A and B are shown apart, each in its own frame.
Chain A
Amino acid sequence: MDIVVNLFHGLLTALQPSNFGTMLIGLAVGVVAGALPGISFVNAMAMALPFTYLMTPLSAMVFLGGIYAGGVFGGSISSILINIPGTPASLPSCWDGFPMTRRGEAARALTLAIAASATGGLASALLLSFAAPPFARLALAFDQPEFFAATFLGLVSIIAIAKSTPWISLVSLFCGIVVGSVGVDPLYGLPRLTFGIRSLQNGINFVVVMIGLFALGEVLEMLGQRHHLQGATNKVRMRFPSVRELWALKGAAARGTGIGCMIGMIPGAGATVGAVIAYGVEKQASPRGAEFGTGVEAGLVAPEAAKNATTGAAMIPLLTLGIPGSAATAIMLAALVLHGVTPGPLLFAAQTDMLYTIFASLLLANLCMIGAGVVVARGFASLMRVPPTILGAFIVVLSVVGAFGVRNNIADVYICLSFGVIGYLMKRYDFPSAPLVLGVILGPLAERYFMTSLANYDNNLTIFFTRPISATILGFASLFVLWALIPDIKGKVLRLLSGRTRAR
């Protein structure tokens, strides 16, 4: 009951013009930054950090929260409209969102994505408001083996979601893991795979790889084939889905939201892992799983709900324990610390008003996102009437700026350009690029968690199977692999059998 009263007070404070306005500005900045290929919401939050120095701690958090919620959604606008993920977490939204655009259902795809994102975001903001302390204890029960298991689940779900044969996806995934391990080893500090090039010691950042493969690769492909993006969108019938259609997708949205909330709480995993796992699970759970990748609504709704469901959940360990689980929440922590506010259990006792205002404004942000999303999506849809050469030049500029902005490093721009060429070749020869990017993202994480787990548990490899949570997650992972491979193996066995009978 206390919580409801607190939340109501928070809502009143959050609706004050200054707070509400700050949140709306943050939301708009987030959606636009997220939608621009190359500029991720993490960039936007990092750039906004200096502005928060001038604000009160409350407005700073409301502002950053707005950018966070808006940015996580915004990435999907460019995924759906031009097949270029605006942020890494929007990668799965390309797989069924863009085919819908190709069919001339861009408006429908965008509306579904906005509705799903808002649902996921609202659910996790409610979870944060009502259940933060108990869930924080759950987050503490996770140790390195569990982090490893969750990351591993993300890795194997790539096999399950693959459009091409699992084996080719595995090759692509391993290439990504190799790219991700370039740089300085996280435990011993020794350079590897750097070939004596000093700037490679900084490692290859996954955002840089993603911008190169998808944004630059797509532009090269677009210009090379002279295929017009507008060709796809000319026949946009602005048909919005009916309430009944939305309701029919409640299962997919609920599964995505649940997965997103769980993954969001785990420090280190974040929106990308949540969206990828949600897509994989949905592909197995949906009756239309086999058609995924051709523009199935459930395949768009589930990852959309999941990635926004990670936002509120990721703030649980941040606010209750002072432990930031992702780059975005780490920036929020920096903003709080600079204002002399130390998040942790004491925050709940000492600054209840501020906390519940943050919760309330996160709820509001997810509601207002529907409006902001529609406005920005309209703007972007008209961008697609721009001739491809001009749009291409625009995307190249953004990509270079984005690659540089990740770490203010010029070497990253060269790496990004190289991956642009690689991305184009991969598209040409139909070699899947998504597993490679996920390998670059998840490979180093998995390695770090694996090594620290071993250090903490006497180099005992069985630890991953004897700890209950870790074992459960790994169990899911093996189910995933089996499920994905069964049709393949079954086909082979059948062919083998029929071959034998014929030979007789």
Chain B
Amino acid sequence: MTSRRFSKMAVLAAALTLTATTLTQAQEKYPSRPVDIVVTFGPGGGADAMGRKMSLLLEKQLGVPFPVSNVGGASGNAGLTKVLTAAPDGYTVATLIALTVSSWASGLGSAKVEDFAIVAVTQDSPSLLFVPRDSPFKTFKDLLEFSKSNPGKLKVATSGYGTQDDITLKYFSARGYKLTNVPFAKPAERYASTVGMHTDAIYEEPGDVAPFLAAGQLRPLVVFDDERHPAFRSTPASKELGFEISDLPNFRTIAVSAKTPPDKIKKLADAVNAALDTPEWKKFCSATYTCASHRYTPAQAQTYVKAFQDKVKGYLATFR
């Protein structure tokens, strides 16, 4: 009787130990539940497209869902607040893009590069200045000359104050070509304003306005880069026109809170970089002209973003 009870107890204890072990193992496995992707801009924009594509590919890589939530506003700072207030357990990742980093350099928002660990750089692309199809300006020189004799008359649709869009406009203003910045928080409204000819031009990377380019509703005037863009061979680069404003590419990264354990960051980074090599991603990034030119480790990505912030700060200092 006693021995039987004892053996029962032993079996029970063994079972309990086993369950406990599997439980701890389950806790150690990352990711073991869905990982939130916070897209820091509204639906329909470039950051949104990247976030949603990554959500699909990361689910295939890591085997858990990556639900997307859009938290737009304030040049991306509103969404990042959510990442910083969430537990740094690797289950909340965000899109962190160039526009937001340059907004910090301009003194907006309350976050800084050091608050985040950059997992990987997923996309980069130079920006261009586009005008509507029926715009009177045929070349970038036409536009600059008009702005010289009509300071502030030309309105350029941008994504906000203190962004690289704003810096580029300030760069030209400082050289006597005064252009007015018209900020739009919603990408869709920004495109509509230029396509509908309510603004004279739009500062944007080509991928975001691809449908309008395909339909001929927007024309590129200049690419802000050292060399011409392979997809727009007849559009001059800013450098050949004598303007040194080619070091502000638009890039997009995946970031987490800086307090996230390094092994989780590495796991995420490997998955993101593997996703970048899939044919699916390659098809997506070439259609949006945004294939990243390099692969970065988390440490290199961190340096890349920090360097961009310093560059923006440098520009802003010269304008003051």
Question: How close is B65's CB to chain A, nearest CB, in angstroms?
Answer: 7
A202 in contact with B84 given A184-B77, A187-B183 (CB within 8 Å): no
User: Are B75's CB and A140's CB within 8 A?
Assistant: no
User: Given the complex, which residues of B lie within 8 Å of A249, measured CB to CB?
Assistant: none
User: Are B110's CB and A342's CB within 8 A?
Assistant: no
User: Given the complex, which residues of A lie within 8 Å of B69, measured CB to CB?
Assistant: 407-408
User: Are A188's CB and B188's CB within 8 A?
Assistant: no
What is the 8 Å Cβ interface bit string for chain A, positions 444-455, against chain B (1 contact, 0 not)?
A: 000010001001
A185 in contact with B67 given A198-B81, A346-B215, A448-B185 (CB within 8 Å): no
Interface extent on A, as a size class? 35 or more
At the interface, yes or no: B191 with Cβ under 8 Å from chain A?
A: yes
Q: How far is the CA of A189 from the CA of B101 in the complex (A)?
A: 12
Which chain B residue has the least Cβ–Cβ distance from A53? B56
Which chain B residue has the least Cβ–Cβ distance from A200? B81
Question: How close is B120's CB to chain A, nearest CB, in angstroms?
Answer: 21
* Interface-facing stretch out of B36-44, B226-234, B246-254, B271-279: B36-44
User: Are A187's CB and B53's CB within 8 A?
Assistant: no
User: Given the complex, which residues of A lie within 8 Å of B266, measured CB to CB?
Assistant: none
User: Are B192's CB and A408's CB within 8 A?
Assistant: no
User: Are B43's CB and A334's CB within 8 A?
Assistant: yes
* Interface-facing stretch out of A226-234, A295-303, A316-324: A316-324
User: Are B183's CB and A345's CB within 8 A?
Assistant: no
Contact check: which of A186, A325, A338, A456 meets B193 at CB < 8 Å?
A456
Which chain B residue has the least Cβ–Cβ distance from A147? B189
At the interface, yes or no: B155 with Cβ under 8 Å from chain A?
A: yes
A331 in contact with B196 given A190-B108, A198-B84 (CB within 8 Å): no
What is the 8 Å Cβ interface bit string for chain B, positions 271-314, against chain A (1 contact, 0 not)?
A: 00000000000010001000000000000000000000000000
At the interface, yes or no: A201 with Cβ under 8 Å from chain B?
A: yes
Interface extent on B, as a size class? 35 or more
What is the 8 Å Cβ interface bit string for chain B, positions 31-74, against chain A (1 contact, 0 not)?
A: 00000100000111000110011001000000001010101011
Question: How close is B115's CB to chain A, nearest CB, in angstroms?
Answer: 12
Q: How far is the CA of A345 from the CA of B193 in the complex (A)?
A: 16
Contact check: which of B56, B109, B183, B210 meets A455 at CB < 8 Å?
B183
Contact check: which of A143, A199, A202, A344 meets B196 at CB < 8 Å?
A143
User: Are A187's CB and B71's CB within 8 A?
Assistant: no
At the interface, yes or no: B206 with Cβ under 8 Å from chain A?
A: no
Question: How close is B78's CB to chain A, nearest CB, in angstroms?
Answer: 5
Question: How close is B61's CB to chain A, nearest CB, in angstroms?
Answer: 15
A143 in contact with B193 given A189-B77, A199-B85 (CB within 8 Å): yes
Question: How close is A249's CB to chain B, nearest CB, in angstroms?
Answer: 36
Which chain B residue has the least Cβ–Cβ distance from A411? B85
User: Given the complex, which residues of A lie within 8 Å of B283, measured CB to CB?
Assistant: 340
Question: How close is B144's CB to chain A, nearest CB, in angstroms?
Answer: 20
6 contacts between A and B (CB under 8 A): A144-B189, A188-B161, A189-B74, A203-B73, A267-B192, A452-B183
Ranked nearest first, the 10 interchain pairs of A and B with the lowest CB-CB distance are: A330-B43, A184-B74, A140-B196, A189-B74, A344-B211, A189-B108, A143-B198, A342-B211, A456-B182, A201-B81
Chain B interface residues (CB < 8 Å from chain A):
36, 42-44, 48-49, 52-53, 56, 65, 67, 69, 71, 73-75, 77-78, 81-82, 84-85, 103, 108-110, 152, 155, 160-162, 180-186, 188-189, 191-193, 195-196, 198-199, 210-212, 214-215, 217, 283, 287
